[in-house]
Structure 1
Amino acid sequence: MKKDDSIQLKQAPDSFSPAVTPVSATTLHTDTEGLHAGETTIPSQGENLPAYLARPAEYTGKLPIVLVVQEIFGVHEHIRDLCRRLAKEGYLAIAPELYFRQGDPSDYREISELFEKLVSKVPDQQVLADLDHTAHWAAQHGGDASKLAITGFCWGGRITWLYAAHSPQLKAGVAWYGKLVGNKTLTSPTHPVDEAVDLTAPVLGLYGGRDSSIPQDTIETMRQAIRAANANAEIVVYPEADHAFNADYRPSYNAEAATDGWQRMLAWFAKYGVK
């Protein structure tokens, strides 16, 4: 077994976004036993991109890579925990702070203010480029560039669809409750429904039937776009689940849907060689 702790990582704070506190009693915590986990930085577009990394402390060969794309709330404790869960499954999981040039999501206590003053100002092209640099960095630090996957949640679910149409190196993507349609802006000129024709990696979409922020008719519109493009993509809807059903720290958490979705995600990655 190879032990590699050559990347010096800083311990991450055990904190959640102030926009969603207090946290729910259902919050899960994944320990770091057997892992190399913490904060690092990645050279990207002339700046140092902060990121949270988790991977097995000991391994042979190179590790499959999963890019973990944050919710609207940034890389807070829930996203870090998801990275550790993936690392326990044998992945190099890395979550870059994709808003860092525009601001700090922990400065906001209201979701509406967070979106208006920060998230809406983050250009999609900047995000996609940062993800490219993150994947390249991961491949230079123990990861296998030929086994690259992405998964994202809420805001990151939308980005997952976009990245699957952007990166020719990507092998698989899993999008959790990411918006599929929307108004076109300077920062977000296209949406997943527009990119279905350009999908180059297989994508699994996981959605809640009770999610009022992503109406069922928009999911059907995306399915039609996938069929028309003959794209390799699948959408699963959990009828009793709401938005953010995997967010165990929030009241929206649905343990049954979250557990099934997690297993489907791992199976999807394995099906397309990211294991």
Structure 2
Amino acid sequence: MESTQVSTPRPIPQEAFDWYDEYAHGLIDRRTFMARLAGLASLGISLSVLTGALLPNYALAEQVSFNDPDIRASYEKFPSPEGHGECQGYLVSPTTVQGKAPGVLVIHENRGLNPYIKDVARRLAKSGFVAFAPDALYPLGGYPGNDDEGRSMQASMDKAKLEQDFIAAAQFLENHQSTTHKLGAVGFCFGGYIANMLAASIPDQIDAAVPFYGSPPAEELRANVEGPLMLHFAGQDTRINNTWPEYEKVLKENNAEYVAHLYEGVNHGFHNDSTGRYAEEEAELAWSRTLEFFERHLR
């Protein structure tokens, strides 16, 4: 009898995910990132396999089609007088809800309004919320269609004005004719920071904030945070996790309402289903917790 040996793909080493995190957050440039990946060839992993696993494939990031009959999507402009003047976002409303629904601001990573974040907005609308996902890159022409260029564009922008743009977006959604004036915010990476910043900057307007692996707001704002907050952390995300003890100390001093979840063994970006960092079980658990949190505080 002949035996057939099936080769199984080698797992991507953790250092490759760590390098991608450094690259995605501007700590190393693309040349350095690719050179480090090439150095893993001695382990029998080709560069194409590594880049295919680490870099986003947005064809994978459509859990809710833009043609889904349960939602209605459009682009809407809003004023941002303290920021870049005029901005634009992706507004997705549920067609299954009679009357008004709570609003949830969806805040992208550090590269503009990419297809993954638009799909997150559609998922929220599918669950009965009015979701609004601003594109921070709109003043420069909008998300350019690839993350590398988007990341460079966003890094070139004035951070204080960007923050004001998201504050303006939150106020636009709170006052939108389709919402109940109950307002939540969910953000990922840079968007997680913005969710924390909004909870500190406009605490009377944010009724529930959910930062995914986001850094804390500026120290001078932290005393304003009252919650409710639900914070999601990735077990392998040392860079962000190291900021949590100090932030949690302030939340306790504020008697803020919060809950924090740590998902062991997963990487920063584990909710993003377009890359190899995606951890389906943990992402689904974090998302179900997020929806329950919004139901409890926004309905």
Which string of whole-angstrom CA distances, capped at 9 and with x for unpartnered residues, describes residues 133-170 of structure 1?
3234333331121x111010010000100100111211
Q: Cα distance, 1:194 vs. partner?
A: 5.0
Q: Aligned match of 2:211 in 164, 167, 175?
A: 175
Q: 1:140 to 1:245 in 2, by over 3 A?
A: same
- CA shift in 2, pair 1:270/1:34, >3 Å: closer
Number of the residue aligned with 2:30: none
Corresponding position of 1:258: 283
Compute the TM-score of the two structures, normalised by the length of structure 2: 0.72
Is 1:40 matched up with 2:65? no
Amino acid at match of 1:257: E
Q: In 2, distance between residues paired with 1:223 and 1:171?
A: 19
| 1:24–1:135 Cα change, 3 Å | closer
Any conservation in 1 of the 2:187–2:194 contact (CA below 8 Å)? yes
Give CA-to-partner distance per residue, 1:184-213, whole Å, 9 cap, x none.
xxxxxxx35553321133111101011143
- Which structure is richer in relative contact order (CA contacts within 8 A, separation 6 or more)? 1
By how many angstroms is 1:267 displaced?
1.6
Give the match for residue 170 of structure 2.
Answer: 135
Unmatched tracts of structure 1, length 5 or more: 1-16, 181-190
Aligned partner of residue 113 in structure 2, secondary structure: coil
C-alpha separation in 2, matches of 1:82 and 1:238? 20
Native 8 Å contact 1:102 1:122 kept in 2 = no
Give the corresponding residue for 1:149: 184
Deviation at 1:24, TM superposition (A): 7.1
Secondary structure of residue in 1 paired with 2:274: coil
The aligned amino acid for 1:196 is R
Contact 1:71 1:154 in 2 (8 A): yes
Alpha-carbon distance in structure 2 between the residues aligned to 1:120 and 1:253: 24
Aligned to 1:195: 221
Instruction: Measure, in 2, the Cα distance between the counterparts of 1:68 and 1:175.
Output: 10
Q: In 2, Cα distance between the equivalents of 1:124 and 1:162?
A: 12
2:295 to 266, 270, 275: 270
Q: Which structure is higher in helix share?
A: 2
Is the deviation greater in 247-256 or in 32-41? 32-41
Which whole-Å CA distance do the structure 2 matches of 1:61 and 1:42 have between them? Answer: 22
Task: Please give the TM-score of this superposition, normalised by the length of structure 1.
Answer: 0.78
Identity of aligned residues (%): 26
Q: Which among 253, 271, 295 is matched to residue 246 of structure 1? A: 271
Q: SS state of the match for residue 178, structure 1?
A: coil
Native 8 Å contact 2:87 2:138 kept in 1 = yes
1:225 lines up with 2:250 in the alignment: yes
> Which residue identity does 1:175 align to in structure 2?
P
Tell me which of 60, 76, 95 is aligned to 1:57. Answer: 95
Aligned mates of 2:163, 2:183 — CA distance in 1: 15
C-alpha distance in structure 2 between counterparts of 1:221 and 1:109, whole Å: 31
**Distance change in 2, residues 1:198/1:24 (3 Å):** same
* Pair 75,58 (structure 1): closer, same or farther in 2 beyond 3 Å: same
1:23 aligns with 2:70: no
CA contact (8 A) 1:213 1:243 kept: no
Matched to 2:104, the amino acid is V
Give secondary structure in 2 for the equivalent of 1:213. Answer: helix
Q: Matched residue of 1:73: which SS?
A: coil
Residues 92/237 of structure 1: CA separation in 2 closer, same or farther (3 Å cut): same
CA distance in 2 between counterparts of 1:155 and 1:63 reads 26
Q: CA deviation at 1:89?
A: 0.6
How far apart are residue 50 of structure 1 and its match? 1.5
Question: Is the 2:93–2:129 contact (alpha carbons within 8 Å) kept by the matching residues of 1?
Answer: yes
Q: 2:122 matched to 1:84?
A: yes
Contact 1:36 1:56 in 2 (8 A): yes
Q: How many residues align?
A: 242
Q: 1:219 to 1:109 in 2, by over 3 A?
A: same
Q: CA deviation at 1:248?
A: 0.2
- What do you get for the CA RMSD once the two structures are aligned? 2.7
Q: Which one has a bigger Cα radius of gyration?
A: 2
Distance of 2:171 and 2:80 partners within structure 1: 10
